[in-house]
Structure 1
Amino acid sequence: MKPSRSFQVGNTTTYGCQVASQRHKDLQGRDNMSSWWMDTNPECIMACPKPADKSIVFSTTKPVALLEEKVLFECTEGYESINHTRGGQAVCTLNGWSPKPQCLLIECETPFLENGSIYPRKDQYANRDVVKFSCMRGYTRVGPDSAQCYHFGWSPQPPSCKEKVSHCQQPPSISHGNLIGDLHEEYRHGEKVFYECDIRFEMAGSNTVECVDGEWVSLPSCTEEEKICGPPPNITNGHPVNVGNVKYWHGETVKYECEGAFVIVGTNPAKCLRGQWEVPSCIGDSAKCRRPKNAKFVPYAPLAKMFDNNRIVNYICGSSLHRTKCIHGNWSPEPECKEHCPLPPQLPNALNNIEMKNYKSGEKISFTCKEHFLLQGPQKILCEDGSWQTPPRCIDAEGRCGRPPPIENGDVLDNLMTEYVSGATVHYKCLRFYRMEGSPVIHCHDGTWTERPTCTEACTVTEEDMRHNNIKLKWAVGSKLYLESGRTAEFICKRGYQADPSSPPFRTTCIDGKMEYPICIQTPQA
């Protein structure tokens, strides 16, 4: 519509902006004047709107960023930035975002297996996709039977298919550790041996070592563990036996036994692990088992049905029939039809402490980055229905900061990120009635956060406190007073009472949530 060239007194009009975001004010004609009246001058401010992309999470909840404002962002699970990182930083400029916040789907190319096949077969695989490997008849698989797609590619690395494979000689010895079981002159491809560490030493890596085409892989090491355990604790309906030491080293064990008709279940003997006891439990001999959710019993049984101790039942997985037994409240073997996960990912720049075994759905693994690298993402991931959750990344810690440190009695105001670039800031606030000591803003500087604030506890003055000491507030403020740390309050004696000669001052200061009350005693009768 064509705008009017003249307006009557009392008419209003609206200004609009041509940039990404705007502020505007209505203007109104004023009586007996040939000018416009407004409460404030209208203005247009350059701003950058947040992209409407569900794969991007921003560090701010504001819908727009102002000119020259920096914003951090992270990619959701299964996506990564164009720089192959978990997220990044963008600046609002006159030309829009620089660089443009963008998260791309994590993909892996189809792996190649000569003399073998891959299932399922696709042109492109996405994050968390799992493929299984098999070799042609007459060929032996050397390597894993499956692999998963991650942000850094396939892990574990795909196998090869060989016509001939070599045997292994006796496995090597390790310092402060021993091989479990008898030694053989020769081991076939695929055979495994197990190691254990001496008392006071903890294993780094898997205790399982496999013969792969003539070589032993994933040899562990044993490092000294200084944490110790105290005397083993008693357990419900049971106790440790032959306890003679006050302290126990990592790896030492103590046997437990149950009372009366109770049966021991779990790790026995108990073991001291990194300063904590791993103890069994004692349950009644008549403990029953409940049908698990993930198993189809034959004949059909509802979830609520209980099975007696030593009862043997059948269950179906796919087209196969399996058998399990109820032993003191637990199924053995555990009825489970879910697929196993591939070997956990060999995360770049992370310490290798992966155990060479089949991982069932529900099991977790944790990650530790090498020195000078920062863990970005969850420390633990879960095996879910045949694939691992998206793992973290170990990034070069130089100039970058991890999550800001928490403070007692306070919270971070901003949306938390897993990684912050140098120069990034985070704001804190204290809980109600707590006083902040220090700056509410901390900065990421060369990989380290500046000093965080503290929240000092308030003092609470109640009627009960004052009645107990026969005092009242000099200035009436109600039945309860919250006093920040460092603030003072002044009291007086109630009518009929006088100051105790040994009383603290009647003007007292709250210090870290504590304050000393004055004391009044009854006035002697004349």
Structure 2
Amino acid sequence: MLLLVNAILTLWVSWAHGQEITCDPPIIPNGDFAPKMNQYGLDDVITYRCGNGFYPPLIGNKTECTVLGWLPRPRCVLKPCGFPEIKHGRLLHADTSKYFPVYVGRSLLYFCDYGYMPPSQTSLAIMNCTQDGWSPVIPCLRKCSFKSLKHGYSPVTEERYVQGQSRTVMCHLGYGLQNPQNTMTCTETGWSPPPICIPVKHCDMPIFENARAVITGRPFRLNDTLDYQCLDGYENRDGSTNGSMVCGEDGWSHLPTCFKSEDKCGPPPAISNGDITSFPLEVYPPWSRVEYQCQAYYELRGPTDVICSYGKWSKPPRCIDPCVISEEIMNEKNIQLKRKDNKRYYVKTGDTVEFRCKSGRKAVTSKESFQAMCLEGTVQFPRCE
């Protein structure tokens, strides 16, 4: 506003004194203009062009001498950025065509579609116009999760990755990924290869993790033996630093797995009234899985198995006590089982048992109490007199 007032005053003073409004030749860094004159009069127009790699603004390459000087201001800027291609995402403002092309230094807000995320891992991200174009080059990255692996060792909890990240997987004996490697990568279309272990049809040179092959060669025929050696600081299941595996009808006899000593687990944790379903070992390699079962009439509560992770077992299940229905208790309450004899009877937690009064006795508790539920070893008995 102050600039406009000063211009009006200048114009009035010039008119009052009979002076003519003029403009000096413009200074345009990285550009040139025509026609060239020592002085320009009011309403004179010049055309300018920019040097290599520079461009005029969107409003054009012409400027006019006014009481405020050259308008619009002539300038040359770096190469502009065109309309950004946001695969799997969109700009925050839908109507943005009037802003393009955008020049170096400008930024735009955008967000990604469901299942994708920006490199900043925020819900709303910024795209920057640089000399090399829009940054980031890949605005929206695919999100991948890994929580189960059929015929393989699944993670303890769901794991999340983004496009470009990889994860090592371990299949059960006789199974492998679709490629001969044991690594899958999060890509724009998801995991490659998919986290699926398929039967092994032949014996290729395996990808060693924390180990190296003593000899190399492919393919391996049936009954061929491949020796491997663990890297320094690593050992295999039996504590040795080397081992061998044999190519069989279903693939290699075992995987060359080497790991740090501190990542191994001892025997799985013991639980009351239950035990593991397999023969116990003194040492278990990382990601080993052991299943539990309860004694008869005890109810298993929690996960059925535990996993060895970084030297520790995951939390084991519990075996919930059954309810014991004895003849002594029923005689004391003057009750008997409705459909069974009065011998000792076991009821699993959560199950219901029905009672009735003994002959000649009358109920003193509610009708509902004669259908009692076992809750972790405890049952509320009805009573008759």
TM over 0.5: no
Q: Which TM-score bucket, shorter chain as reference?
A: 0.3 to 0.5
TM-score of the aligned structures, taking structure 1 as reference length:
0.26
Structure with the largest fraction of helix? 2
TM-score of the aligned structures, taking structure 2 as reference length:
0.34
Structure with the largest fraction of strand? 1
